[in-house]
Chains A and B, each alone.
Chain A
Amino acid sequence: MAGETSRAAASARRAVRTRSTPLTAALAWLLPGLGHWYLGHRDRASIFFVTIVVTFWGGVALGGVRSTMNVQDNGAWFAAQLCAGVQSVGALMWSKTIPDRLELTATYPTVDIAVVYTGIAGLLNLLVIIDALARAEAVNAPDLSSPRPAGGGGP
């Protein structure tokens, strides 16, 4: 009876602590730090959000949104920029609305610095996503420190 109660308590504890790994990954991509926020690491989530968002939009501010979010010219860097989450999609959609005028086009070296800033922001968010996934897996892993139920459990 006591073993059954402790098993039920452990199961309830696990149910409360369990976090969906795909949802964690989706949230972590959507907004930097949101995956960690979902896992309960609020302090880390705030640091990730501020650092990555400031780095990304700092890059956009340097080069202008039209030159920075340029699929044709930036090649592989654009894939890195997309890792920064929904903000990069928003910036891309915004860049499509900017007219093709010379004064709104960044020149060397500004455009390179801007693309590197936004690309690094995306790659940093990729690291954060991987860390959130690892933490979600750790939360969902069975608690090996709790005693095994009496009577075994094997075949």
Chain B
Amino acid sequence: MTELASLLATLFIDPVQISGGGRLLMLLPLAASVGVVYKTIRCDRVRDIPLASLVLWVTIVLGMLAVGVILLIAYQILR
């Protein structure tokens, strides 16, 4: 019981330090969550969900990358 409490403390009480490219990588699981929940709502058949979620996940990630690149270019031009 003490070990479980200690594990919970380590997991959920102590914050994790994220820096550099790690913060960009955190987009991937969040986009996956959004894709899975949205496609679970939209798909009529449950067996269609994995592929539809994967397509949406790739779309979100590529879309966010495109937005990031556009904003970076705009920043470089306006700087």
The CA-CA distance from A63 to B68 in the complex, in Å, is 24
The CA-CA distance from A64 to B8 in the complex, in Å, is 11
Contacting residue for B15 out of A47, A110, A131, CB 8 A: A110
The CA-CA distance from A63 to B33 in the complex, in Å, is 18
Q: A44-80 toward B: CB 8 Å interface, digit per residue (1/0)? A: 1001100110110110111111110000000000000
Q: Does B37 contact A (CB under 8 A)?
A: yes
Given A104-B13, A131-B41 in contact, is the A62-B36 Cβ separation under 8 Å? no
The CA-CA distance from A106 to B12 in the complex, in Å, is 12
Given A127-B38, A131-B41 in contact, is the A51-B33 Cβ separation under 8 Å? yes
Nearest A residue to B49, CB-CB: A47
- Within the complex, the shortest CB–CB distance from B49 to chain A, in Å, comes to 7
In this complex, the interface size class of chain B, counting residues with CB under 8 Å from chain A, is 20 to 34
Most buried by B among A47, A62, A63, A114: A47
Among listed A10-18, A19-27, A115-123, interface-contacting one: A115-123
Contacting residue for B12 out of A51, A64, A116, A131, CB 8 A: A64
Q: CB-CB < 8 A to A127: which residues of B?
A: 37-38, 41
**Number of A positions contacting B (CB below 8 A):** 38
Interface residues of B in 25-79 (CB under 8 A from A): 26, 29-30, 33-34, 36-38, 40-41, 46, 49
Q: Is A44's CB under 8 angstroms from B34's CB?
A: no
Q: CB-CB < 8 A to A111: which residues of B?
A: 15
Q: Does B16 contact A (CB under 8 A)?
A: yes
Q: Is A63's CB under 8 angstroms from B36's CB?
A: no
Q: Is A52's CB under 8 angstroms from B37's CB?
A: yes
Given A47-B40, A48-B40, A131-B41 in contact, is the A120-B17 Cβ separation under 8 Å? no
Q: Does A113 contact B (CB under 8 A)?
A: yes
Interface residues of A in 30-44 (CB under 8 A from B): 43-44
Q: Is A110's CB under 8 angstroms from B34's CB?
A: no
Nearest B residue to A36, CB-CB: B40
B interface list, Cβ under 8 A from A: 11-19, 23, 26, 29-30, 33-34, 36-38, 40-41, 46, 49
Cross-chain pairs A/B with CB under 8 angstroms, 7 sampled: A52-B37, A62-B26, A98-B13, A103-B14, A104-B13, A110-B17, A124-B37
